[in-house]
Amino acid sequence: MLQFTPMSATELKRLRCRPIQTGENPHHNAGFTLLELIMGLGFMVVMSAIIAPNLQASLSAYRLNSALSSLAGKITVAHYKAMSGNTDFEVAISTTSNSYQLDQLTSSNPRTFGLAAGEESINLPTSVSFGYGTVTTAAGDAGEQPSLAQSSAIAFNSLGMPVDSNGNPTPANAFYLTCNGQVGAVTVSQAGKVESWLWNGNAWVAL
């Protein structure tokens, strides 16, 4: 069996103070050279230039998808409340404050809406705003939306049908969102179907 004898304090001190032997490089652990630092910095700059655009695009896509999901959810709530509450509800947007809210019909003549009980104004995520950028084609299934236009509000009557400001059924129901060049939309068909869409550069793709 091997036995180990602890080193004395004198031996430890002598070991720590051991002089550099011939052939050893006194700068072996001295750190990085200036050339190594410059090369490392250059590598980081190149990688940042490659990664940053992709990271920005991914972040924009995440924010846009999140906004579309939240907005579509609120429209679905308005649809449900209108049918279950036997009165009109709407989701109204503000393009100046980039926000939206769920409203309830408070007067039929003239038709007036007010913030629904328990609701509050919801702000769009950072960098997301209402608009459709350079897109020239209306979102939705072919022929569903009569034209490319930003609705100021999407309202439902007690039958669950989307109606205009006069209370008449309408097929023109679309909210458009944009984020750093990416464009999405939430549409409501005349039958009351709520759908979210993304523009892929050539056509609208349902989410």
pLDDT exceeds cutoff 60 at 24: no
How far apart are alpha carbons 80 and 202 in whole angstroms? 33
Residue 9 domain-assigned? no
β-pair type (182-188, 122-123): unpaired
Cα separation, 43 vs 186, in Å, equals 43
Q: Please list the residues that pair with 113 across neighbouring strands.
A: 105
Report the CATH number that the domain containing residue 166 is assigned in CATH.
3.55.40.10
Assigned domain for 160 exists: yes
Neighbours of 77 (CB within 10 A): 15
pLDDT, residue 37, reads: 75
- pLDDT confidence bin for 185, thresholds 50/70/90: very high
Q: 17 versus 34: which is more confidently predicted?
A: 34
CA distance 95 to 97: 6
Asked if the structure places residue 48 within a domain, the reply is no
State which residues form the domain around 187. 56-206
Helix (H) or strand (E) holding 67: helix 34-85
Q: Say how many domains are in the chain.
A: 1
What gap in Å lies between CA 111 and CA 155, rounded to an integer?
A: 11
Helices then strands, each counted (H, E), the chain: 2, 11
Within a domain: 50: no
Band the pLDDT of 57: cuts 50, 70, 90: confident
End-to-end CA distance of the chain: 72
Instruction: Please list the helix, strand and coil fractions of the chain in percent, rounded to the nearest 5, in that order.
Output: 30, 25, 45
Q: What is the pLDDT of residues 59-118, one digit of tens each?
A: 899 999 999 999 999 999 999 999 999 999 999 999 999 999 999 999 999 999 999 999
The CA-based angle 65-69-72, given to 5 degrees, is 135
Does residue 123 sit in helix, strand or coil? strand
